[in-house]
């Protein structure tokens, strides 16, 4: 086993390569002019069928790529509307999505959103012109139609708009979409399993993320099973491995045993939440010194539990602490079924969860397994773990108004009342739970 770990470490040292976003032959770069095109797929009917040249003439053009599943993109829509109204005919903001008209209209109806900026649906052209990997993604084009810079959401603000309109000054930081760790070799554990590992310090020029496409933090590709994250604290990496891919740690399931300084495992906005607001430079400095980019890939066929078990062992070779999994008596909220007749069985409608961004707040949980709701409750940082003993294995429909307060905590007394109305008792008791234990390496 020690020899295997040594091979892991050698592999980590050997796999420090990167790949740029692949450019299509028709892609448009910085300093090039954007061609004219007829805009037909616009939700804003009064603009549909007009040419891009006609609409953007003598204006600063912002092409904002977005998607309904991208939370920062959706949160930015009202701000984009406000910026368009504030700068009037000096600016044109064009929101571009690859999703269909039906998907966008249904999303806006559910979320009660009515953006006034032109929104282009079913895009295949603009994403070819401006290839990117991460959303939000914005392209800034000057009055002459010249591409000046491509940015993330942080640069979309009134001051940058004012400088572009008044002085022709555009943001200086070009967005870096190079977040891949393309491994040039792999480690064969046995005849059927090939694992590739990549690891390096934080890169604050790329967005902080854990890929979310299959289950949390994993991504199924044609030939590999993949965990991929950027700028994540050590604790989040260990927790993902411990929990088979969950992205948000429940800190009540993490114990430190004789660790002298645990502050480097908690982002400063958590550690110092009671000490006043930190500057953005302080937070960036913490992430620069205490977070990492990590990717683990293997060929399909390896069970998910084995994949994350391997990830756990690999992480234990990289840091000055050692993590283990133990079962300990733990305070938790136990869910018990007291009246099956009050449990709201699913009406058979389309499965979905209705959220608003304030909080965020969960309003409706529809046609989904009860265990999924329990998993959601266990993503908060400071609530006690929730342990399900109801035995409810069928889909349910629940209406509630549960605010998660930035994924930090929710109101347990309110949730107790909601569950009781639905025939479920929520009581505080001890249970033997799986716990992540962090110790200094001997």
Task: Kindly report, residue by residue over 377-406, the tens digit of the pLDDT.
Answer: 988 878 899 999 999 999 999 998 898 876
Answer whether residue 26 is part of any domain.
no
Residue 190 confidence class, pLDDT cut points 50, 70, 90: very low
Verify that 153 and 240 share a domain, yes or no: no
254 and 150 housed in the same domain = no
> Residue 91: inside a domain, yes or no?
yes
28 domain residue, yes or no: no
Q: Which of 62-66, 95-99, 277-281 has the lowest mean pLDDT?
A: 277-281
Helical H segments across 123-273, by residue range? 126-129, 158-167, 234-242, 268-271
Both 9 and 47 in one domain: the answer is: no
Say if 74 falls within a structural domain: yes
Task: Indicate the range of 11-20, 160-169, 170-179 predicted with least confidence.
Answer: 11-20
**Are 304 and 185 part of one and the same domain?**
yes
Average pLDDT score over residue span 404-425: 89
Question: Is 131 a member of any domain?
Answer: yes
Give me the chain's average pLDDT, please.
79
324 in a domain, yes or no? no
pLDDT of residue 177: 61
Average pLDDT of the residues in 130-151: 90
For 297, the domain range is 2-18+178-319
Question: Using only C-alpha atoms, what is the Rg of the chain?
Answer: 24
Do 223 and 267 share a domain, yes or no? yes
- Whole-number Å distance between alpha carbons of 171 and 152: 11
Task: Output the CA angle 406-409-412, nearest 5 degrees.
Answer: 140
Q: Where are the alpha helices (DSSP H) in 88-155?
A: 101-111, 126-129
What is residue 160's predicted lDDT score, i.e. its pLDDT? 93
Residue 176: the pLDDT is 64
Instruction: Assess whether 385 and 427 both reside in one domain.
Output: yes
- As for how many domains the chain has, the answer is 3
Last residue of a domain, one of 134, 167, 200: 167
Q: What is the DSSP letter of 279?
A: P
Q: Give the domain-ending residue among 266, 284, 319.
A: 319
Residue 355 lies in a domain: yes
- Residue 303 CB contacts under 8 Å (≥ 6 apart), including other chains: none
pLDDT in tens, 298-336: 766 667 888 888 889 888 888 888 899 999 999 999 999
Facing residues of 140 across strands?
A: 62, 149
- Same domain for 286 and 199: yes
Q: What are the CB-based long-range contacts (under 8 Å, 24+) for 306-312? A: 307/218, 307/225, 307/227, 308/227, 308/240, 308/241, 308/242, 308/243, 308/244, 308/245, 309/241, 310/189, 310/195, 311/227, 311/240, 311/241, 312/238, 312/241, 312/242
Q: Is residue 125 a part of any domain in this protein?
A: yes
Same domain, 152 and 60: yes
Both 378 and 295 in one domain: the answer is no
CATH number at residue 133: 3.40.30.10
Same domain assignment for residues 311 and 360 = no
Answer for the pair 8, 89: CB distance below 8 angstroms, yes or no.
no
Decide: pTM greater than 0.85. Answer: no
Q: Same structural domain for residues 202 and 303?
A: yes
Q: Are residues 335 and 397 in the same domain?
A: yes
Cα–Cα dist 14/18, whole Å: 12
Q: What confidence category does residue 376 fall into, taking pLDDT thresholds of 50, 70 and 90?
A: confident
Asked which of 94-108, 194-208, 349-363 is least confident by mean pLDDT, the reply is: 194-208
| Domain finish residue from 284, 319, 354 | 319
């Amino acid at each position: 086993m020690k020899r295997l770990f040594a091979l892991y470490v050698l592999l980590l040292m050997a796999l420090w390569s990167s790949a740029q976003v692949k450019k299509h032959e028709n892609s448009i770069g910085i300093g090039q002019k954007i061609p004219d095109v007829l805009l037909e797929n616009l939700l804003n009917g009064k603009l549909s069928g007009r040419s891009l040249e006609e609409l953007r003439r003598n204006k600063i053009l912002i092409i904002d790529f977005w998607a309904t599943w991208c939370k920062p993109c959706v949160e930015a829509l009202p701000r984009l509307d406000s910026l368009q109204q504030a700068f009037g005919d000096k600016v044109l903001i064009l929101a571009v999505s690859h999703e269909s008209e039906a998907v966008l209209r249904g999303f806006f109806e559910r979320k009660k959103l009515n953006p006034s900026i032109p929104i282009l649906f079913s895009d295949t052209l603009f994403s070819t012109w401006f290839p990117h990997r991460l959303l939000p993604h914005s392209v800034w084009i000057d009055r002459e139609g010249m591409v000046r810079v491509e940015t993330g959401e942080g640069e979309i603000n009134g001051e940058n708009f004012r400088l572009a309109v008044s002085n022709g000054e555009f943001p200086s930081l070009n967005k870096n979409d190079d977040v891949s760790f393309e491994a040039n070799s792999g480690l064969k554990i046995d005849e059927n399993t090939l694992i590739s590992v990549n690891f390096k310090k934080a890169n604050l020029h790329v967005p902080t993320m854990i890929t979310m496409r299959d289950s949390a933090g994993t991504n199924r590709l044609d030939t590999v099973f993949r965990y991929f994250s950027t700028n994540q604290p050590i604790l989040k990496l260990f927790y993902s491995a411990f929990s088979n891919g969950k992205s948000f740690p429940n800190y009540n399931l993490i114990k430190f045993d004789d660790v002298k300084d645990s502050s480097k495992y908690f982002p400063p906005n958590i550690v110092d939440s009671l000490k006043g607001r930190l500057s953005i430079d302080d937070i960036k400095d913490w992430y620069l010194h205490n977070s990492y980019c990590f990717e683990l890939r293997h060929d399909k066929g390896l069970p998910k539990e084995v994949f994350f078990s391997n990830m756990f062992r690999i992480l234990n070779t990289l840091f000055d602490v050692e993590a283990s999994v133990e079962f300990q008596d733990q305070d938790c909220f136990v869910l018990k079924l007291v009246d099956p007749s009050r449990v709201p069985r699913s009406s058979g409608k389309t499965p979905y969860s209705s959220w608003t961004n304030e909080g965020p707040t969960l309003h409706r949980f529809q046609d989904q397994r009860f265990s999924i709701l329990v998993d959601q409750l266990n993503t908060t940082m400071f609530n006690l773990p929730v342990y399900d003993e109801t035995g409810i294995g069928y889909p349910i429909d629940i209406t509630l108004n549960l605010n998660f307060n930035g994924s930090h905590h929710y109101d347990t007394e309110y949730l107790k009342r909601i569950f009781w109305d639905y025939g479920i008792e929520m009581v505080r008791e001890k249970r033997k739970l799986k716990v992540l234990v962090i110790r200094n390496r001997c």
